[in-house]
Every structure is written in structure tokens, then in C-alpha cells.
Structure 1
Amino acid sequence: MFKSIVVCTAFLLSTLCLKAQNIAWELVAPGVWKGTVGAPESYNLLTASGAKPYLEGLNKMGTAAFPMVQQEVVAQLKDGKTYLRFPLKKAEQLFGFGLNFQTVHQRGKILELHVDHFGGKDNGRTHAPTPFYVSSDGYGVFINSARYLKVYAGSAVRRDSENAPAAKDRNTDKTWASRPYSDAVEILVPAEGVEFYVFAGPTPLNAVSRYNLFNGGGPLPPRWGLGFTQRVKTLFTAEDVEKEASTFAEKGFPLDFIGLEPGWQSKAYPCSFEWDKTRFPNPAGFVGDMLKKGIRLNLWTNPYVSPESPIYKEIKPFTADHTVWLGAVPDLTLPQAQQLLFGQLKKSQVDIGVSGYKFDEVDGYDHYLWPDVTSFPSGKTAEQMRQTYGLLMQRYSTDLFHERNQRTFGLVRGSNGGGTSFPYVIYNDYYNHEDFITALINSSFAGVLWTPEVRASKTGEEWLRRMQSVVFSPMAMINAWSSGTKPWSYPEVEQQVKDMAILRMQMMPYWYSEFAKYHFQGIPPFRAMNLEPGFAVGPEKEVKSNNLEDNPYVEAVTKEVKDQYMAGEYLLVAPMFAGKTTRTVILPRGKWFDFYTGDFVGDGTVITVTPGLDRIPVYVRDGGIIPMGPALMHAPKSTDKIDLEIRYYGTKPATYQLYDDDGETFNYEKGAFSFREVKMELGKDGKLKASISAAVKGKPNTLNKISFKAMTTKNQL
């Protein structure tokens, strides 16, 4: 532990120096420093989420040096607010500042980080406005405040800056710019103090991993959570749901969980949190029957209490003075409100076998949720509650399942910093396919998961392209609450959609291992190309020319890459969009191979591909190891043993850590898990040399027969 005092340097005016505040620095974990300024508020993102660092994972990452000049981090208190200033080099690019949908590069942006529905612009108002940013220089900064934060991400120039650009004459100088270079990230916190954290690299991915581990590590979903899910129409009955599941089985489409929308409740908008007895006359029997068929149930709700709810009278004293849809708004920072709301969910739903929730409307719009003049009985401000309500819903619902030693995987509309460990995936009402992929990319900088869900499409082509994307995402979901669509609703592509759904199930061992790395190592399972080694470095055999026609890679890597991403350790996914038959793909340095055929496709180059309608372009890094399971209709149970085919791409010798546990409980927290090491290489004779470490005695082992397959042979190189 150590402390440092801000030093007045030449580029700071004396007036600023007089008001500059001491920053108390503390090393809180390897490569993680906390800075404290003034009198921070006791309620913040980390206290709301209850996030606890996963120290074992942080310790394994090892120590690192403070990633910037500490004296150049400046704090100032003024007008009851805290101003923070972080240095920014000329060549740095910035990523993060929440779940953005249209931009990946954030340098030069002005944002107000505010929990809200995404309204069509990346202005800081979004479902998860995580106040965490990552630099291309390999460090991250997190502001632990439950307030609306104003961010100037390299957009303003101080008069006294040592790095201020020269003023130019617009009349005569063609290099004049309306937005000149800025050398700082400046953040306004509306409080008389704040704590913030700096995460070392040395790479951007290292910084992201440290941030995720500091927030508890990513969630480890149950295996069934990585299967296929169908959300049914709003007023479906128990009979309708059972018929839906039967039709999936008859048509041979995988299905692991069904989402019930508002009609399962007797009242919704606001909610009763009780089953509607006309549509579901025997809830316990219905849930039990579905479980026997291998189908889990996920229930939609929002937290606003109907006057007709059985808990209304008891919870009313612990609610806000404003309503949402005339429903009472529980103050979820109060134990009494927590016990009443989540006690009702436990008694009526979780105790009879419901497996998860979809928590709606915990984000915005302003005309839906409580206004900022609202009072809560705990004394927390309406602003603080707006910034943390999604965190609170995730936290206490997760506790319900943890107490039962039963994992869950659900959906939520709002989250924030501190929520990394919660087993929830964000969704919304927006529906632009391209922007959905950009959001998936940005989720890796925000410590959240995002699903590019499918609802409906204008054509079979669009339907298939959207389905291909969700197969390579955290949750493979059709959200048919309004449209009533099924996987087979577009007959002309029914077989291709079925093939993709089956591929999702076959890849479950890979997805499960990658989520384990998210939990134990903090590595996002779906992440931006900017976090990939060798992405912006350039190809090994780069054409030495400034002509972009000769060397398009130079231009490509300096642009925002918003339409391709990494999926797990080895896969690069490049989605196709309706109306497009070809696309370009930027391959990082190193050899890459076609996922489907094993053929060599390039090394640090920009390629143009025409994959056809049936396939989404997917590429595997040299030495890629992809464990594949059987084409099951439901995720394997904890007592099942499956056959495994381990595929190997390229020629580079490689190892892979294959994760295993029971797939359903939290026993892994007590050590009931294993990583088995897979070793692969292709000999000079073209034959595969492969091995896997033995199952660990006393640990879960869900594997039966294991085989190996070389996807790349000499004639494919």
C-alpha cells in the first residue's frame, strides 16, 4: 500500500494547483490501484452489486507497473463536484464507456453515462453505461460512482497543456481541424469525492481481464443456458407452451429453455408476481412436466408491484414516492423490500422449479421510469437508483438460485459496472442487425454479455443471417413474444436454420470452456478484434507501399472494425447481413483456416469472401483446438457422459484447457471442477499427434469416448 500526492507541473495553471486534491493511491490487487479523492459516497456501483474480487485469478495474472505517469492523474473539487483528468497520448485509441451500439472507437466523444434504453445514438445513455474505458496502450480506468457521469474522452484542449496543438488559420491552412488533438480524458462526477481504479496491462486484453476479475470474474452459466431458447407469445397458456415444446421435438430442433412473457402473471404492468390460474391452472405440475421433458422455464417480469399483488400492502412502506405504470417501486437497497419481493419469487416460482428470469424495464425511458425528483425511503437518490436498479435485481435474484445450489442464466435490460459476475445477458427493443454485432463487440469492454436476439425478418435470407449470428453469441435466442415466429417460420431456409441450431449444440464443449475462462481468467468469451494479439500490428509479409490499393491492411486496421469479432480463444466470426453476398474480413497476423473445411485462408491480410447463404464466415487461428460434442436436442445433464471430437486446425503445435464440471451446481466454487490439457500437433508426415490429460480422480467427468480430427492436411496449406 502506498500514497501519492498530485504534483503541480508546468502545464497546470497556479489556480488549478491551488485547488488540486491529494489522490490517495492504494495497491488493492496485482496490477490494480485504487485512487481516492475527497469524501466518496458510501453507495456506489461496487456496493450496489456486492462485487468481490476474484483474487486467485488476479494473483495468477501477476504484478505489473503502474501504466501511466501517476502525477499526471489530476483531481479537483469544485461546486460540490469532482473533476478527474487522466493523461492521453497522441497515438492512443479509447474503447469502452459502456454498451455502445454504433461505435467502437470512443476517442473524441462527449458522453453522459446514464442507464437508459438505447435511443439510436451512442451518447452514453444505454443499457449498461459502464464507467470503464480501455486504452490501446494497454490499461483501463474504472470510476466507481452510481451517478450520471459526464465524460470528455479526449475532446477538450486546456490552454496550459504541454501538448496543445498549434492554432491554425482556417482561411489558408488546409490542415485546420474543427476538433484539435486533446491530451486527456476528463470526467465530471457530481459528488464531493469519488474512488476510481486503474488496471494495468500490459495489453488491452490484460486490462479488461483484470477489470472482470476485480468484479468477481464472469458468470459460468449452466450448460443448458448455452443451448437454444424460444420465447413464446405474451398470452400463451400452459397447453400452448407444451405444444410448442412438442413441435420442436417432432421437427428435430434443439430446445433447452422456453421463456414465458407477461401473460404467465395474473397482472402485469404493474405485476402481481402470481401465476394466472386461467392460463396456468396448475403451475407446479406444469413446471414439473416441462422439466421431465428436458425443458427449463424462464419467466418475464418487471419489479413494479401491482396494488393487487399479495405483497403490495407489506412492501408499500418500502417503496418510492413515485410509481411506474402505477406500480410501487421497491427500494431494493432495503432488506425488507428485498425479502418481500424476492421472497415472493422464491415461493411462487423458484421453489416449484422455475429456472430463471427476464427482468424488463429496469433501464428507461425517462417517461417510463421514476423521475429524478423521486424519493426513496432509504435516502438513496433517484439518480443512484436509476444507475443501479438493474444491478440490484440481478444480485438478489442470483442469490435465490445460489442458495439452492442451482445455476441460472437469464436476461436483463439494465446493468452497470460491478455486474460482471451476474449470469444475465442484456437485450433490448432495438433491432438493427449490424448494430447488434457492434454491441456484441463492445460488450467485451463493458463487463457484460449481450445477445443479438432474433424476432422476425422480412425475408428468409434475413432470418437465416440473424440466426447465424445468435448461434455465435452468449445466448441463442428467438424472442417471439410478439411475432410468434419459430425456427421453421421461413420454410425456404428451415434446413439451414436447423443446421445452425444443431451446430450450436455440437459446439457446447467449446462454449462452456470459454465461459470458464471468463470466470477464472476474466477473458470475455466474445470480444473485439482490438483485444486480439496481432490485429493492428500488420501482416508478416506486408507490402512495403503507401498505396492503399497495394496494401489495404494498413487502412483497414486504423478504421473502426464493427462487424467481426473473436468468439473464444480461436475463432474469428464475420457475420453476413441481408442483401450482401460478399464481405471483407481482416485477419490478424498469423495463419488462419476455414472453420468448416480446414483450408488455409490467409496470414495477416484482408480477404474478400463469398460464403453462400448456408454459412456464416468463421475462421480458426493456426493451432486452433475446437472440442465438439454430439448433436443433442438438450444440453447434457450432470449424470450424462458424452462423446467428444476434438478438432485441430493448421500445423502450429498448441494446447487447450478443456473445462469440466457438473454443469448445473455451484460445486465448482468448492473445487469440483477440472481443466484437462489437450495437446495437438501435425507431424511432418501429415499425421496428427494428439493427447489429453487423464480425468482427475474425484472430480466431475462428463466425457465418454474422445476422438481427434485434423481439419487441415498438407494439401490444404
Structure 2
Amino acid sequence: MNIIKYSTLVFFICFVGIKVNAQQLEWAEVEPGVWKTTVGNPEKYNLLTASGVAPYHEALLKLEKSNFPLSKTDITTKVVDGKTYLKFPLQKSEQIFGFGLNFKTVNQRGKILELHVDHYNGSDNGRTHSPTPFYVSSKGYGVFINSARYLKVYAGSAVQRDSKNPPKVQDRNTDPDWDPHPYSDGVEILVPAEGVEVFVMGGPTPLNAVQRFNLFNGGGCLPPRWGLGFTQRVERMTDAKGVFQEAKDFEEKGYPLDFIGLEPGWQSKSYPNTFEWDKKRFPEPEKMVKELLQKNIRLNLWINPYVSPDAPFYKKIFPYTASHTVWAGLVPDLKTDSARNFLFNALNKNKVDIGISGYKIDEVDGGDSYLWPDLATFPSGISAEQMRQTYGLLMQRYTTELYQQKNIRTYGLVRGSNAGGVSFPYVIYNDYYNHQDFITALINSGFAGVLWTPEVRASNSPEEWVRRFQSNVFSPMAMINAWASGTKPWTYPEVAPIIKEFALLRMEMMPYWYSEFAKYHFQGIPPFRAMNLEDGFQNIIPAQEIKNNNLEENPYAKAITKEIKDQYMAGGNLLVAPVFTGQKSRTVILPKGKWFDFYTGKYAGDGEVITATPGLAKIPVYVKDGGIIPMTKPMLHAPKTDEKVDIEFRYYGSKPGTYQLYDDDGETYNYEKGDYSIRTVKISKIKGKLTGSISDGQKNKPNSTGKISYKMMTL
């Protein structure tokens, strides 16, 4: 059948009674390098309306100009029987990254996923803590589907019969290279709604596409300085006396500590929750918070949002809750003003208003047997499916507002998020606890617009304890979560000196971490990200690995390209390659350009595969040529506002280096009004002699820098 193309073509396939609407798309550049099209009749409630974020226009203006990166005629859409079908072109050499917080794979081409908020259960099938409907191409563009529905994704895995680039037909009987997965020339996405908003992010590089996505969603979060220090979550039934003892032990043993996390036992009842202090374990919470703050230690409180019949506001909030309960607790409809008022007033009164510094928001992700079912109803009319996809976003949004109203920054933990959550000061965690997969998740977090911590809970050996702790230090939140185990940094005495060294290293690197998070906010550059976003990395051809090739056991066996999912960039200058339990050595792929050992400054390699044998006391970390790492003295607490700290700028290699050192008061949102400073550091080595300079501090701008020194790490 020949079909004549019009701007909108509607035809009916009467014999099956299905309505098909094919639409020629109109793209509008809504922000610099960001284009939008509307397909069908999009739902009013989506990820952007749930998060309430606005694009960071001024930052987007500063990015390199980009043209529309795809062939518009090769993007096809249609609405069939109340569902929206999307197809985006793929070239043969393209790699696809993203589609949420995946734990086992980085390259998503060839995958079939259902993007569904859930706890991670061991398989990269789309069910995860943040199933962000955004993907990035190795060709230097990104695609974002703004829908709060469960999306079905065929990421280069389906072949249409009328494809412009059909796969080669092979005969398995005679072709030894027969491929069970024929070439697919498109990413196809099924949206279970009568329309959707689609955004394309320009490049020209994959990192630029990620930057545009992050800035379009408000820019990355900028934690308070103390949030980048060290945190210990105590055993779940710890009382006030135990909290003070914890703080005392850390201080006496010389371990850094910036905030303590209280688990469910701080409440009078939990699962479901009263959101009230247990008066026996915590008789004077305001006094406790005040005394801890005087010691430069803050408190973070565990919650989930499900309301116990014993909560003081239970009867009042009842009419504004879902038809189904969770752990016999009410589920507040956060799209109603009344439910929000009751719940967040409870989180403010005698908590935030007495100095509680943040929340850990649990169980807003899954699984299906715990949370409300998809047939649940909510007073606002938002479907259970849409609420599942956005509940973590809503909790982050409104708890953040509690702190914004007081002009105090927070930094917390959350189990569920989605697109739109980039700017919220929360880090995702879970109960899966596989070290290798935790690192893959950390890599993928940079594509998903979220932060992830490979937290440390417990270990089976001193070696595992060290290896987990080392990689956790090079992550968005350095944390021991001892809610069940009661573990301490010094739990294994034989490796306690190594643990202390890395805990203090975290504090020494505070100027670096803070400056890199500033880039996340002002430039949209993820502080922790995949090697695929690093210049020079994609030019290296990795080795091959063979999956099970026994045709009896695996009749569709096929060699696959090895993914690089165990090393990552930490900020702009550091490459981190964690070592896992049982490993004595590991290979590291260095991008093109010279790289140097972080600890010694010795030359490591240039665009090559090297073998690292660090021993137990080190995690392999490398610095690019000309890299500058600002370091300070090893403090036990993050510096206070206006506290002067001396900074040593460590310089690696021989290439002239430049670094942007960021500074503000470290605690308020005044930086959003321009109350911050960025000082340019320049270092070069001429005839073996080091020359360093830093631009003058601006008048009436924050300046916490004390004495400045420069250290040449590479001799």
C-alpha cells in the first residue's frame, strides 16, 4: 500500500479497528542545543512537572554551539491504539549509553528494557532505582523522553521489515559468523500514552550531550562541604547515648566524621512510621542536635513516607492518601497540597527546625510486593504507575524545599529517582551489595543524571573491607552504613591504619571534590563518569571476551566486545581503577595522552593497557598530564564557613596545567545569587623548574583559601 505523506496523516485499519496517527515532526530549539517535539497529545503530568525544575539557561548559553544532530526524516513516530511509538536512527558504528542506573552493563545497544522504578534485583532489564529515559550516543547526541510511564525500549534490538538499512541475511548452516542478533538501525521506544514530549540534546561530543541534559534539568546539585566529608550510619536501635559515644570514638581514634545517620529506631514506631522521636531513646533531641553541631557533627534521619496509625496527623492526612497501604501505612498523595502539608510539616517540626541536616529516604523504589500496586488510585487522579515513577522525585523535591526555605543546604540519600532529579542533593543507594556491580552503577550514574554511592556496610574479610572502603572514598558520598552490622572503620584492627589513611585522604581532597561538584552545577559535568566520556578513550580498541560458546548449553553463543565497567573518571583529572577482593593485579586502560600515578607522580602510560599491582594499601588512581589536584591538610571535619584552609596544588606531568578552584560559604544557597568565587590556577614546568600562580580573590566574594603552595609530583 502506498501512503501519501501529509503533515498529519490519519487512517483507519478498519478490519482490526486500530486507529493509527502518523505525524511529521516539528522541532523547536527550546534551549541552546536542546530541541523539542510533541507527539500526539502528551499527558500533563510528566517527569519535568513532577520535579518542578527549570533549565539553567545561562549555563546552557556557554556551551559550544550545536546543530541538530540527527536526520529529522529518519525519526519516526505514530500513535496506535492509545500508545505512542518512537523510532530514532542508529548507525552501525554507534554505541548507546544510559537508560537509567544500570549495574552490570555500560553499553546498552542491543538491550530490551522496561524502564520501571524498582529496587535493583540483579538484572539490567530496566527495573532500577532511576530508570532515566535518556540515552547518549557515541556519535555525540542524547535523547530524552519526558514521560512518567513504564517505557519499553528496544535499543537497537528490533528490525523492521521495511528498514532502510536491513541486516545481512545469513545462513546458519553454512555461515560460521551467523549472528543471532541481526543488525538493527534504530532505537525504538513504546510509550503507553497517547502522546509524549521528546527532547534531543546536541553535542558535538557525548559529554556535551550529557551536560545539556543535566543543565536542562536545572544543573547538578552542589552539596554543602560537610556532605563531601565522611558519614557513619549507626545501628538501627542506637540511642542518644550511643550517638554521643560514636562521635567520641571517632574523635579519640582520629577518624574524620561530618554527619551521623540515624536509622529507623529514632522514631517511636517504624514500618509504618510515626515521624516522632522515641522519647526513651532520644529524650532531648534539640539539645542533642545542638551539642553535636558544636562538635561540627550533623545528624541525618532515616524515613520512608508511609504513615502509621499512631502518627499524630494520621486521621488528618487519611483523605489525601492512596487506596492501598504500604506496610499497613498510608501512602500520602504528594500531588495534593494537603498531603504535602501534613507530611512535610512533620519532617520539619522538631527535626529540620532544630538543626537536623538531612534525610535518608528509603523504600520509594520497589519492589512490587511491597509498594502500592498499579491498580491503586490516588486522590489527585495521578495514576499509580505515574506515582511509582515519580515518588522518589517528589520526596526529594519537597524535602529539599524545607532546606531552601531556610537557606541551608542539605545532602541526603534516596532509593528512587528519575529524570528531573539532577539538581536535588541526594545520592542513591540500595541493598544489592555487589562491589563490582556497585562500580558499574557509579559509572552509569553519569549517564542517568543521578549520584550513586558504593557504600560500605560489612565485609567477609579485612581485604574486602579495605577494597570497598577505598572505592567508596572516590565516590559522591563516603559512607559506612552500619544500620544492621554496627561496623566501624576500625572493625578490622589489622587494616585500620589503611582505612584511616583513606578516610583522611577524603578530607585532604576536599578542595578538589568541591570544585568538581561546582562543575556539575555550573557546567553539567558529572563528577563521576564513564571512561566513554573521556577524550582519547574511545580510540582504544579493547580486548575481546567470549561468553559460553558451548552450543548445547547456549545455542545462540556469540563473542561480544568487552565493556569497560570497572574504571571511571573522578572529576576532570583522576582515573580510578578499583581492585576487588582476591585480585592481586588488574589491567587499566589509559586514554591517549600521558598519565601519572596519583601517589608518586611516576609516569604510568599513554593510550595503552597497563597492569597495576598496587598492594592492599592502595587503589590505583592516575592523573592526566598537566593535571592539578588541590589538597588541604587532613581534617576531622569539613571546614566551617569563613574558615581559612591552606591549599597545596599538586601538579603532575610536564604539560602546562590550568585548574578552576571554586569557593563559596559551603553551607547556604547564596551561590545561586552569585556569592561565589572561581580562581584560576596555572602551573607549568620549564627546564625542570615549577612555576605556579593563582588569580587574585575577588573583593567581597568568598575566600577561604589560606596559605598557597605548589608541589611538583612528577620529577
Letter in structure 2 aligned against 1:330: P
Residue deviations 1:348-392, cap 9 Å, x none? 200000000000000001000000010000000000000000000
Residue deviations 1:64-123, cap 9 Å, x none? 110010111111000100000000000001000000000001000000000000010000
Q: Secondary structure at the match of 2:35?
A: strand
Find 2:625's aligned residue among 622, 625, 649: 622
Q: Secondary structure at the match of 1:536?
A: helix
Corresponding residue number in structure 2 for 1:24: 26
Residue deviations 1:241-280, cap 9 Å, x none? 0001000000000000000000000010000011000000
Find 1:668's aligned residue among 671, 682, 688: 671
State the 1:166 CA deviation: 2.5
Corresponding residue number in structure 1 for 2:551: none
State the 1:311 CA deviation: 1.2
Corresponding residue number in structure 1 for 2:370: 368
Residue deviations 1:573-600, cap 9 Å, x none? 0000011010000000000000000000
* 1-structure distance, mates of 2:170, 2:566: 37
Q: Secondary structure at the match of 2:330?
A: strand
Find 1:512's aligned residue among 511, 514, 527: 514
Does the CA contact (< 8 Å) of 1:362 and 1:413 recur in 2?
yes
* 2-structure distance, mates of 1:92, 1:17: 34
Whether 1:703 aligns to 2:700 is no
Whether 1:527 aligns to 2:532 is no
Does the CA contact (< 8 Å) of 2:233 and 2:480 recur in 1?
yes
Corresponding residue number in structure 2 for 1:573: 576
* 2-structure distance, mates of 1:56, 1:172: 59
* 2-structure distance, mates of 1:696, 1:19: 58
Q: Secondary structure at the match of 2:537?
A: coil
Letter in structure 2 aligned against 1:106: Q
Find 2:684's aligned residue among 672, 681, 685: 681
RMSD across aligned C-alpha pairs, in angstroms?
1.8
- Structure 1 residues 88 and 701: alpha-carbon distance in aligned structure 2, compared to 1, 3 A threshold: same
Corresponding residue number in structure 1 for 2:256: 254
Does the CA contact (< 8 Å) of 2:8 and 2:23 recur in 1?
no
Corresponding residue number in structure 2 for 1:71: 73
Corresponding residue number in structure 2 for 1:98: 100
Corresponding residue number in structure 1 for 2:659: 656
* 1-structure distance, mates of 2:182, 2:525: 35
Q: Secondary structure at the match of 1:470?
A: helix
State the 1:538 CA deviation: 3.6
* 2-structure distance, mates of 1:333, 1:533: 43
Does the CA contact (< 8 Å) of 2:658 and 2:682 recur in 1?
yes
The runs of at least 4 consecutive aligned structure 1 residues that moved more than 4 Å come to 4-8, 15-18
Find 1:346's aligned residue among 340, 345, 348: 348
Q: Secondary structure at the match of 1:61?
A: coil
State the 1:654 CA deviation: 1.6
Corresponding residue number in structure 1 for 2:594: 591
* 2-structure distance, mates of 1:547, 1:489: 40
Residue deviations 1:671-702, cap 9 Å, x none? 10011000011112x01011000111110111
The TM-score with structure 1 as length reference comes to 0.95
Letter in structure 2 aligned against 1:659: Y
Does the CA contact (< 8 Å) of 2:627 and 2:653 recur in 1?
yes
- Structure 1 residues 557 and 388: alpha-carbon distance in aligned structure 2, compared to 1, 3 A threshold: same
Find 2:57's aligned residue among 55, 58, 62: 55
* 1-structure distance, mates of 2:249, 2:242: 11
Letter in structure 1 aligned against 2:452: W
Does the CA contact (< 8 Å) of 1:536 and 1:558 recur in 2?
no
State the identity as a percent: 69
Corresponding residue number in structure 2 for 1:12: none
- Structure 1 residues 691 and 306: alpha-carbon distance in aligned structure 2, compared to 1, 3 A threshold: same
Corresponding residue number in structure 1 for 2:308: 306
Q: Map of 1:122-271 to 2, 5 A cutoff?
A: 122-271=124-273
Q: Secondary structure at the match of 1:450?
A: coil
Does the CA contact (< 8 Å) of 2:236 and 2:483 recur in 1?
yes
State the 1:63 CA deviation: 2.4
State the 1:24 CA deviation: 3.1
Residue deviations 1:6-43, cap 9 Å, x none? 799xxxxxx99984213232110111001101110000
* 2-structure distance, mates of 1:557, 1:156: 18
Corresponding residue number in structure 2 for 1:609: 612
The TM-score with structure 2 as length reference comes to 0.95
Find 2:297's aligned residue among 295, 298, 313: 295
* 2-structure distance, mates of 1:44, 1:296: 35
Deviates more, 1:164-173 or 1:337-346: 164-173
* 1-structure distance, mates of 2:269, 2:563: 46
Q: Secondary structure at the match of 2:466?
A: helix
Q: Map of 1:310-459 to 2, 5 A cutoff?
A: 310-459=312-461
Does the CA contact (< 8 Å) of 1:22 and 1:37 recur in 2?
no
Letter in structure 1 aligned against 2:588: V
Find 2:493's aligned residue among 475, 491, 494: 491
Corresponding residue number in structure 1 for 2:563: 560
Deviates more, 1:58-67 or 1:489-498: 58-67
Q: Secondary structure at the match of 2:58?
A: helix
Letter in structure 2 aligned against 1:590: G
Corresponding residue number in structure 2 for 1:120: 122
Does the CA contact (< 8 Å) of 1:674 and 1:699 recur in 2?
yes
* 2-structure distance, mates of 1:536, 1:329: 46
Q: Secondary structure at the match of 2:103?
A: coil
* 1-structure distance, mates of 2:511, 2:21: 56
Does the CA contact (< 8 Å) of 1:30 and 1:62 recur in 2?
no
- Structure 1 residues 5 and 385: alpha-carbon distance in aligned structure 2, compared to 1, 3 A threshold: farther
Does the CA contact (< 8 Å) of 2:458 and 2:465 recur in 1?
yes
Find 1:478's aligned residue among 467, 477, 480: 480
* 2-structure distance, mates of 1:5, 1:340: 52
Does the CA contact (< 8 Å) of 2:20 and 2:80 recur in 1?
no
* 1-structure distance, mates of 2:508, 2:326: 43
* 1-structure distance, mates of 2:117, 2:394: 13
Does the CA contact (< 8 Å) of 2:20 and 2:81 recur in 1?
no
* 2-structure distance, mates of 1:337, 1:538: 53
Q: How many residues align?
A: 691
Residue deviations 1:597-633, cap 9 Å, x none? 0000100010001001100000000000000011100
* 1-structure distance, mates of 2:134, 2:313: 38
Where structure 1 has 5 or more consecutive residues not aligned to the other structure, the ranges are: 9-14, 549-555
Corresponding residue number in structure 2 for 1:503: 505
Does the CA contact (< 8 Å) of 1:6 and 1:71 recur in 2?
no
Does the CA contact (< 8 Å) of 1:642 and 1:703 recur in 2?
yes
Q: Secondary structure at the match of 1:195?
A: strand
* 1-structure distance, mates of 2:96, 2:509: 33
Letter in structure 2 aligned against 1:570: N
Does the CA contact (< 8 Å) of 1:110 and 1:152 recur in 2?
yes
Where structure 2 has 5 or more consecutive residues not aligned to the other structure, the ranges are: 10-15, 546-558
Q: Secondary structure at the match of 1:348?
A: coil
State the 1:335 CA deviation: 1.1
- Structure 1 residues 5 and 449: alpha-carbon distance in aligned structure 2, compared to 1, 3 A threshold: farther
* 1-structure distance, mates of 2:434, 2:124: 14
Corresponding residue number in structure 1 for 2:642: 639
Residue deviations 1:397-442, cap 9 Å, x none? 0000000000000000000011000000000001110000000000
